[in-house]
């Protein structure tokens, strides 16, 4: 494995309650920064971006942790994207699951169920712009659940749809008859290809968390999106859409 790599977040600091300078076990976990009772060096308490764990760090490590937070903010990765779902549709889904389960469903189960119904409906009607939005909501939900690998695959799948110009069919004309546009039969319009900066930023953040290099990311992207290609017959195959996406992630990030 090789290829380009973006700067990863590291497991800086100690989680075992030992002094990061002299490595002796401290009598208790310090609630705030202060000097080590054994060696007298200033022990700092920080949260690191890798896993949001509280750790004990040296002053040098604290600077490195601060730089990683800086990177995380630049990447727009401070928090997962919010799954954009319609409140009234969520309420309808909650009511129907309540009847089916005979109990109050969990919020995540409601969202996941709505997402899978909407995805199926949009796919059936070839509303691929809306399908793409639902796939983004699905990735964001996985992201909020801390399922980094699955969330990354989902966001990369959204980029794949964007690079194929996924879009909804034109609305029916005044007489209610579907407007026919020459050459448009698939719900894709590659001349309208784009990449959403917020989605790319979140990919960069997750790749840094997972510490994957370009070859690993490309392999994951290709296998995930090849399945989309098989079912949607996108005009561009995964390997054709990788170059602009790889540049956006590994050169822009």
Residues binding Zn ion (CB under 5 A): 19, 21-22, 36, 38-39
**Cβ nearer to Zn ion, comparing 28 with 175:** 28
**Closer to Zn ion by Cβ: residue 36 or 151:** 36
The interaxial angle of helices 238-250 and 197-210, nearest 10 deg, is 80
Report the nearest approach of Zn ion to the CB of residue 50 (Å).
Answer: 23
For residue 114, what are its two tokens? 């709505």
User: Rounded to the nearest whole angstrom, what is the least distance from the CB of residue 11 to Zn ion in the complex?
Assistant: 20
Q: What is the token pair recorded at 107?
A: 């919020």
The tokens for 106 are 């969990």
**Sign of the four-CA dihedral 53, 59, 64, 68:** positive
| Angstrom distances, CA of residue 186 to CA of 42, 64, 164, 235 | 63, 49, 11, 8
Residue 43, strand partner residues: 34
Angle (CA) 188 165 167, round 5°: 60
Smallest separation, CB 40 to Zn ion (Å): 7
Q: Per the structure block, which two tokens stand in for 61?
A: 């490590």
Q: Which is nearer to Zn ion, 29 or 101 (CB)?
A: 29
- Minimum gap (Å) between residue 16 Cβ and Zn ion: 13
Shortest distance, position 53 Cβ to Zn ion, whole Å = 20
- Which is nearer to Zn ion, 19 or 232 (by Cβ)? 19
In a 13 Å sphere around the CA of 137, the CA atoms on its Cβ side amount to: 22
Closer to Zn ion by CB, 39 or 181: give it.
39
CB of 21 to Zn ion, least distance (A): 4
Task: CB nearer to Zn ion: give 25 or 104.
Answer: 25
Question: In 3D, which of 71, 169, 94 has the Cα closest to residue 127?
Answer: 169
């Amino acid at each position: 494995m090789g290829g380009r790599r973006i700067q990863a977040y590291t497991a800086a600091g100690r989680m075992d309650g030992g002094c990061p300078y002299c490595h002796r076990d401290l009598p208790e976990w310090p609630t705030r920064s202060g000097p080590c009772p054994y060696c007298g060096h200033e022990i700092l308490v920080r949260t690191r971006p890798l896993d949001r764990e509280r750790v004990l760090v040296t002053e040098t490590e604290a600077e490195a942790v601060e730089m990683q937070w800086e990177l995380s903010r630049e990447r727009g990765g401070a928090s997962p994207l919010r799954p954009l779902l319609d409140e009234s549709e969520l309420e309808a889904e909650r009511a129907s699951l309540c009847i089916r389960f005979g109990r109050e469903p969990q919020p995540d189960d409601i969202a996941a169920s709505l997402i899978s119904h909407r995805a199926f409906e949009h796919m059936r009607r070839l509303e691929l712009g809306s399908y793409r939005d639902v796939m983004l909501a699905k990735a964001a939900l996985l992201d909020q659940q801390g399922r980094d690998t699955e969330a990354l695959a989902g966001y990369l799948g959204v980029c794949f749809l964007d690079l194929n110009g996924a879009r909804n069919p034109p609305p029916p004309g005044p007489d209610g008859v579907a407007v026919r546009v020459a050459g448009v039969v698939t719900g894709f319009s590659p001349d309208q290809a784009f990449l959403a900066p917020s989605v790319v930023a979140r990919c960069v953040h997750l790749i840094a968390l997972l510490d994957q290099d370009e070859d690993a990311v490309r392999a994951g992207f290709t296998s995930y999106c090849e399945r989309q290609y098989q079912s949607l017959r996108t005009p561009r195959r995964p390997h054709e859409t990788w170059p602009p996406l790889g540049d956006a992630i590994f050169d822009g990030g």
